[in-house]
Chain A
Amino acid sequence: KAGVTQTPRYLIKTRGQQVTLSCSPISGHRSVSWYQQTPGQGLQFLFEYFSETQRNKGNFPGRFSGRQFSNSRSEMNVSTLELGDSALYLCASSSLTGSTGELFFGEGSRLTVL
């Protein structure tokens, strides 16, 4: 069974640009969560999608957005990039949301903003 796939793995952008990250969940998983990982801050929850609907949202500004497609693939977008957006962005899929489903993580997309 293929794992969670995230693309691109690495990318470099400059301030003010926007970026789109993609996540393909494990086949059959309908929940996709996104996290921002930075040193010392751990994993900060961005949002979670289930069946194309955003069900949970973290405390990030509106520049961070996401969506989920009918095949459960998800994308997240960050507009007007800032230096502080440099981080590892992790996607996790689950067969069910939250409590009853183990999160399966991808390897992440490492974003560097210059």
Chain B
Amino acid sequence: AQSVSQHNHHVILSEAASLELGCNYSYGGTVNLFWYVQYPGQHLQLLLKYFSGDPLVKGIKGFEAEFIKSKFSFNLRKPSVQWSDTAEYFCAVNAGTSYDKVIFGPGTSLSVIP
């Protein structure tokens, strides 16, 4: 069965610091990978996704993620965080078929201090 782990439960950063959130998944076949974000008081929304091709994908608001197949990882990065990036971040995966469910990790809460 697929599973997703996220390295940090809660991360606290100062504005302008660099961000890297770790995500590992367990599944031996082709996967599709996602990062979703939940800002305070808002619904979950897609940040970026990887289906195939260039393993470095860029999303909204300056976020990017790198898929490293050999490490079963899909880490999220941003060179300089802003206070408005304070949110909960979820990594998600599903098997590379059209009909499989999307499994989410436990989430990482990011707090950015002005």
Chain A residues proximal to chain B, CB less than 8 Å: 3-4, 33, 35, 40-45, 48, 50, 55-56, 58, 90, 92, 96-100, 102-103, 105-108
Q: How far is the CA of A87 from the CA of B52 in the complex (A)?
A: 34
Q: Decide if B98 touches A96 in the complex (CB within 8 Å).
A: yes
Number of interface residues of B (CB under 8 A): 24
Residues of A within 8 A of B43 (CB): 3-4, 105-108
Q: How many A-B residue pairs have CB under 8 A?
A: 66
Is B46 at the interface (CB under 8 A from chain A)?
yes
A102 smallest CB distance to B (angstroms): 5
Residues of A within 8 A of B103 (CB): 45
Q: Decide if A98 touches B97 in the complex (CB within 8 Å).
A: yes
B32 smallest CB distance to A (angstroms): 4
Q: Mark each residue of chain B from 88 to 100: 1 if its CB lies under 8 Å from any CB of chain A, else 0.
A: 0010001111111
Q: Decide if A42 touches B107 in the complex (CB within 8 Å).
A: yes
